[in-house]
Amino acid sequence: MTSTNTSPFVFANPHTKTVRAQAVPWKVLIIDDEPSVHQITKAIITEYEILGRPIECLSAYGDADARVLLKEHPDAAVCLLDVVMDTKETGLKLVQYIRKDLNNQMMRIVLRTGQPGYAPEREVFIQFDINDYKTKTELTEERLFTTLLGALRDYQSLTQLDRNNRLLTDVIDSMPEVYLILNLKGEITGLNSKALALSGLSREQGTGNKAWEALPLLNAYRTELEQALVTGKVCRVERVKTKIGQGSQYFDLMLYPLTQQAGAALILEEVSLKVRYEEMVIQSEKMLSVGGLAAGIAHEINNPLSAILQGAQNTLRRLGPEMEKNREVAASYKIDIDALQAYLKERKITEFLDHIVDAAGRAAGIVETMLRFSRKSESRKSSTNLNDLVESTLRLITKDYNLKHSEVFAATELNTQLDPELPLVPLEMTEIQQVLINLVKNAVQAFGDKLPAGNNPVITVSTQRMAGKVRLEVADNGPGMPEEIRRRILEPFFTTKEVGQGTGLGLAVSYFIITNNHQGSLEVLSEQGKGTRVQVDLPLHLEKE
Amino acid sequence: MKLLIIDDNQPLAEGLVAYFEDVGVEGVIADSAEKAKILFLQQPFDGAIVDFYLPGADGVRWVQWALEKKPNFRWVLYTGSLSYNLSKRLQGVGLSDRWVFRKPKACADDLLAALSIGMK
């Protein structure tokens, strides 16, 4: 049994059939300064067919042409190499050239010397990586055949083993997962390219390190990993998180013991997209449940709200001195309606009634907004120049009464970075306008009531063409938000503003407009102390709904 | 001008009547489609404000019934259901979303304005 067969991975030689059909010859290099040796060797061995393949002989007669030949034929199976040629050590130097300079460990080297005194067999075998040593006199035709057969068998096994190793390495290196081989101490003995990319280390730097030192995201699970290594049990951890810039990456971790060796394999599968998708599904479900609830209660709420509004408006009207009927009825009760007006004003009764009208109007607005979550956009989308829409919306925002009177907004630098190559985007203009207004207002409010110390507040609205989509981004250099808030920021009714300052629907509605009505995505990236970016991606082509 | 207000929400209906009274329009309340049918047959009305959800037959059925009796009769649908839209079938028989008003955003003068336009 060859060593190949003891490998846990046995791969079929992909060339086997081709080789047999075309009988690709074994390349045998003859390097010797005696032309007669070439002639005789060739005459003998080109008659052979060894392991089903003929033999092709290639010749070199000295150091220089040997080096050219060796370089041109790295796939030569055997090199029959004379020792004493240009110098006493030409052959031995060529061995070094093959093994070290050309890094060819596969080629089988058979030293053939006519002057064994110059290169004693034992010393040469110890010092040089050769495979056989023969004196020319002992190489009879029979011995030459057996020597070649042995060398070719070795070469065949080695190349098969090498192919398997390369395939195995390629398989592991091509894995989309991070893959580490660990010893029982948790030290890395092997790692694939994804592991190198994640750790930022070279293969040499990574090898020998503890896994949790090379990959700090494993640090939190060090105890579990150490325990699993010692007990030989499988260890799984879902959603291992690591920070990448302003965003996060998530991995599912699995460590399992190796069966043939003391150690374990550790796999990290990136599941960031899956996590994001799950978050999106949860958001959508929350929103749809809000929408469903709103649809159910809208009628029940809007009817009494109508009565409240109508009643308050009627009351205001019937207290006013402008209406002749009011004056008539008041006079019949000997009431001076102008004095009554003065009284109502002084006691702020008309103001209270105005508040009732305002409050009922706001409540109606909330119900209407909640209902957005239950409806598909019925409006028709049209191909729109998003840059124009951004500019016109920002002009509108600067005229917004509340913002115009905000000290923070007045000091805010509102920048745009619009991609001049932006293609037209299918969208519903009023909806995207609403999203942009919400995002900019949120950014202004993120700065707080007072100007932040240090940096001046800057909000940057940018557009960018990307593969199959365009990105609209609103970025601020505000205080950012902690992860626990960022995770909830899209939930309907979640707000960090003071009671009465916001309904917590603006961002949720924006999210719904983008994901539900425009088949796009909205992502909030934030880092405390550095600011927040909201990225809205809109597809250039909509799938039929 | 005399309007029929078909709504089972009494405070709202009375509020509308009060508004109309102040602008010189008479309002008569029916709190169900059945009562509205009786009033419609008994008295002449220039138009109707019709709630959609009513006890018994709904507002749209009442409008259909009224239009069969008086094809040029003016009406507006006044509904608290924001998601309500006229079905294609109803649009097919001449009912239009133009005459659908939402509570509480649309107020009494919107309704009156719509009916007055219709009456020209």
CATH number of A382-539: 3.30.565.10
Q: Which long-range contacts (CB under 8 A, 24 or more apart) does A163-168 make?
A: A163/A11, A163/A13, A164/A4, A164/A7, A164/A9, A164/A10, A164/A11, A167/A9, A167/A11, A168/A9
Predicted confidence at residue A360, as pLDDT, reads: 87
Going along chain B from its start, the domains and CATH numbers come out as 2-119 (3.40.50.2300)
Q: Do strands A132-135 and A108-113 pair parallel, antiparallel, or not at all (unpaired)?
A: parallel
| Closest CA relative to residue A110, chosen from A146, A75, A68 | A146
* CB-closest option in B11, B53, B105 to A311: B11
A298: closest chain B residue by CA: B81
Whole-number average pLDDT of chain A: 85
pLDDT bracket for residue A228 (50, 70, 90): very high
CA distance A370 to chain B (A): 11
Supply the pLDDT for residue A479.
84
Give me the long-range contacts of B85-92 (CB less than 8 A, separation at least 24): B86/B60, B90/B60, B90/B64
Helix (H, G, I), strand (E, B) or coil at A56: strand
Counting residues of chain A whose pLDDT is more than 90, the rounded percentage is: 45
User: Cβ separation of A364 and B79 shorter than 8 Å?
Assistant: no
pLDDT at A1: 35
Among the partner residues A295, A298, A313, nearest to B107 by beta-carbon distance = A313
Q: Three-state DSSP class for A367?
A: helix
Q: Does the CB of B88 have a partner CB in chain A at under 8 Å?
A: no
pLDDT at A125: 82
Q: What is the mean pLDDT of residues A444-449?
A: 76
How confident is the model at residue B72, as a pLDDT? 87
Same fold, A3-162 and A382-539: no
CA distances from A273 to A248, A269, A280, A508 (A): 11, 11, 10, 20
Helix and strand numbers (H, E) in chain B are 5, 5
Among A288, A310, A325, A369, most B C-beta atoms within 10 A, so best to mutate, is A310
Domain A3-162 has CATH 3.40.50.180: no
CB-CB: which of A299, A313, A375 is closest to B80? Answer: A299
The Cβ of residue A374 has, within 10 Å, a number of other Cβ atoms equal to: 20
- The SS3 of residue A179 is strand
Enumerate the residues of chain A whose CB falls inside 8 A of the CB of residue B82: 298, 302, 367-368, 371
Nearest by CB to residue A307, choosing from B15, B19, B102, is B15
Query: What is the model's pLDDT at position B94?
Result: 67
Which pLDDT band holds residue B87 (cuts at 50, 70, 90)?
low
CA pair distance A207, A47, nearest whole angstrom: 49
pLDDT at A103: 93
pLDDT number for residue B41: 95
Q: According to the model, what pLDDT value does residue A288 have? A: 72
A32: CB partners within 8 A, 6+ apart: A38, A41, A61, A80, A81, A82, A85, A112
Q: Residue A305 and residue B102: Cβ atoms within 8 Å?
A: no
Nearest CA-CA distance, residue A379 and chain B, Å: 14
Residues of chain B positioned with their CB less than 8 A from the CB of A314: 15, 18-19, 22
pLDDT exceeds cutoff 60 at A284: yes
Q: Where are the beta strands (DSSP E) in A131-198?
A: 132-135, 178-182, 188-191
Does the pLDDT of residue A338 top 60, yes or no? yes
The distance of A492 to chain B (nearest Cα, Å) reads 19
Ordered by start, the domain boundaries in chain A are 3-162, 175-270, 280-372, 382-539
Give residue-wise pLDDT tens across range B70-85.
988 988 889 887 556 6
Residues of A in contact with B12 (CB under 8 A): 303, 306-307, 310
Spell out which residues of chain B touch residue A369, defining contact as CB-CB under 8 Å. none
Least confident of A75-89, A294-308, A488-502, B33-47: A488-502
Three-class DSSP labels, A211-252: HHHHCHHHHHHHHHHHHHHHHCCCEEEEEEEEEECCEEEEEE
Structure token pair of residue A329: 């009825």
Model confidence at A258: pLDDT above 70: yes
Which of B22, B80, B82 lies at the smallest CB-CB distance from A306?
B80
CATH of A175-270, one of 3.30.450.20, 2.120.10.70, 3.30.70.360, 2.60.40.10: 3.30.450.20
Inter-chain touch A311–B19, beta carbons under 8 Å: no
The pLDDT-based confidence of A364 (bands split at 50, 70, 90) is confident
Q: Tell me, yes or no, if B58 comes closer than 8 A to chain A by beta carbon.
A: no
B44 touches chain A (CB under 8 A): no
- Per-residue confidence band for A362, with pLDDT thresholds at 50, 70 and 90: confident
Give the pLDDT band of residue A334 (cuts 50, 70, 90): very high
Question: Would the CB atoms of A303 and B80 count as touching at under 8 Å?
Answer: yes
Mean pLDDT of A81-104: 92
Q: Helices marked H in A320-421 — which ranges?
A: 324-332, 337-346, 349-372, 386-398, 401-404, 407-411
**Average pLDDT, stretch A203-216?**
89
Residues of B with CB below 8 A from A298's CB?
Answer: 80-83
Give the number of beta-carbon pairs within 8 Å between A and B: 74
The amino acid occupying position A171 is V
Tell whether the model's pLDDT for residue A9 goes beyond 80: no
User: What is the tens place of the pLDDT at every residue in A387-415?
Assistant: 999 998 888 888 765 666 677 778 888 89
Interface check for B101 against chain A (CB to CB < 8 A): the answer is no
Where is A426: in which H helix or E strand?
A: strand A425-427
- What pLDDT was estimated at residue A126? 84
Mean pLDDT of A418-445: 89
B18 reaches A (C-beta below 8 A): yes
Cα–Cα distance measured from residue A394 to residue A417, given in angstroms and rounded to the nearest whole number: 13
- Chain B residues with CB-CB distance to A375 below 8 A: 83
| pLDDT at A492 > cutoff 80 | no
Each residue's pLDDT tens digit, A26-52: 999 999 999 999 999 999 888 888 999
